[in-house]
Chain A
Amino acid sequence: EPEVTQTPSHQVTQMGQEVILRCVPISNHLYFYWYRQILGQKVEFLVSFYNNEISEKSEIFDDQFSVERPDGSNFTLKIRSTKLEDSAMYFCASSDFRAYGYTFGSGTRLTVV
C-alpha cells in the first residue's frame, strides 16, 4: 500500500536554528498538508498546498514557517528560527481528492532545546 514517508523520525535542534522536515507524499496525490501535535494535545492544521502554492494556512503558520515542493516529489516544511514551543510531532499528509481520506506519514518528532 502506498505510504507517505517522513524524515527524519526524530530531530533535536538548538533554539534559534533552522530545521527542514522532509516528506515524500504519495505520487499521484495532489493535495499536501502539514499538521503538528504538541505532546498530549490535539492535532493542529498548519498549512495546505495545492498546485504548487499554499491554499490555506493557520495562525500558527507565521513568517517563521515555509513550505516547498522543490522537485515534484518531496514536500518540505522549514522553520527558520526554532523556538522551544515549536517542539512537537509534525505530520505530513497527502490526499488525491476531497472525497477521500488523507494518508499521514509517521511523523517527525522535533525537540527544540
Chain B
Amino acid sequence: SQQGEEDPQALSIQEGENATMNCSYKTSINNLQWYRQNSGRGLVHLILIRSNEREKHSGRLRVTLDTSKKSSSLLITASRAADTASYFCATDALEGAQKLVFGQGTRLTINP
C-alpha cells in the first residue's frame, strides 16, 4: 500500500492553540497534498508540497515534508472553532498513473 498512517486519529484543543497533524507514507512520491473535510461534506484542497520542497506556508497553515523519513506534518496556528474538521493527507506516487492515495485522516476539534 502506498499510504501509511496519520496521527493522531483525533485531536481536541482549545481555540487559539496550535494543532499539529502528522502523516507517513511508504512509496516515493511526486507530491503530497493536504485536504480538509467538514462533516459529511466535500474535500477542500489546502496545500500541495512537492517532493523537492521541505516546507510550505499558506496563511495559518504550515506543511513540512521529510522525504528521507517519508513523513509530513500539517501545523495550524492560532486555531479557530471553524477549523474543526477532518484533515487528510494524500500522496501522488512518483511512478504510475496520476492518482491520490488518502490516509485515514485526523479528526480535529477546536473547543471555544
Contacts and interface: CB of A to CB of B under 8 A. Distances in A.
Interface residues of B, number: 26
- Interface majority SS (helix, strand, loop, mixed), chain B: strand
A101 interface: yes
Contacts of B41: 106-107
A31 B99 CA distance: 9
A95 B97 CA distance: 13
A104 B31 contact: no
A99 B105 CA distance: 22
Contacts, number: 62
B13 interface: no
Interface of B: 30-31, 33, 35, 40-45, 47-48, 50, 88, 90, 92, 96-105
26 contacts: A33-B99, A33-B100, A35-B102, A42-B102, A42-B103, A42-B104, A42-B105, A43-B88, A43-B90, A45-B99, A45-B101, A48-B98, A55-B98, A56-B98, A91-B42, A98-B31, A98-B98, A101-B48, A102-B33, A102-B100, A103-B45, A104-B44, A104-B45, A105-B42, A107-B41, A107-B42
